[in-house]
Amino acid sequence: MKKTGKVKPGQSLAPIPVRAVDFIMYCTKNPKRTRTFYQKLFGFQRGEEWNDSWSEFNTSPIRICLNGLGHKPKWDWQWPAAVALAVDDIQAAARRCRRRRVKILVPPVETRVCWFAIIADPDGNRICLHRRKDGTAV
C-alpha cells in the first residue's frame, strides 16, 4: 500500500514523543533593555547567548529565553510567548504535523546550536519543536 502522507478518517497516528519542556520564549524589540529588566528585577544570571538577539536565563527546571529582531532570515518575531518542546527528530515531528494538518509557522530550520520548527495549536498559540545539537533537554 502506498503512503500518501494524509490521514484517512478513523486512522490513528502515533504522537510526537516529547523529552522535556526546554524553554519558554518571549519576543522583544529591544533585547538589551529586556535582558536588563529580568536581571535587575529577578536577579537572573546570564546564560547562553548565541547572538545579540538571543538570551537564555537558567531558571531551572525550565529556561526563560528572550528572542529579538536580529535573526536572518527575517521572520515575524513579534508573536506572543511560546513554549519549546524538546523532541528527538525535528524533521519527523514536522512530517507528523503535516500529516495531521497542523499549521507550521516556521518550517524546520538548522542553526549553529539547534534545530527547530514552530507550529500553531488550534487557537494560534505557538509551539517550538526543538532539538539542541548537544543532545541535552532541560
Q: Assign 16 to helix, strand or coil.
A: coil
Model confidence pTM above 0.85: no
Three cell numbers at 117?
520548527
Burial (Cβ within 10 Å: 0-12, 13-18, ≥19) of residue 57: buried
* 8 Å CB contact between 96 and 87: no
pLDDT score of 68 more than 50 = yes
- Give pLDDT, residue 86: 94
Instruction: Report pLDDT digits (tens) over 6-39.
Output: 656 556 688 999 998 989 988 888 888 888 899 8
Alpha helix segments (H runs only) across the chain: 31-42, 90-99
* 8 Å CB contact between 116 and 54: no
- Give pLDDT, residue 45: 82
The top-level CATH class assigned to 20-132 is alpha beta
Confidence of residue 62 (pLDDT cuts 50, 70, 90): confident
Name which residue leads in pLDDT, 74 or 11.
11
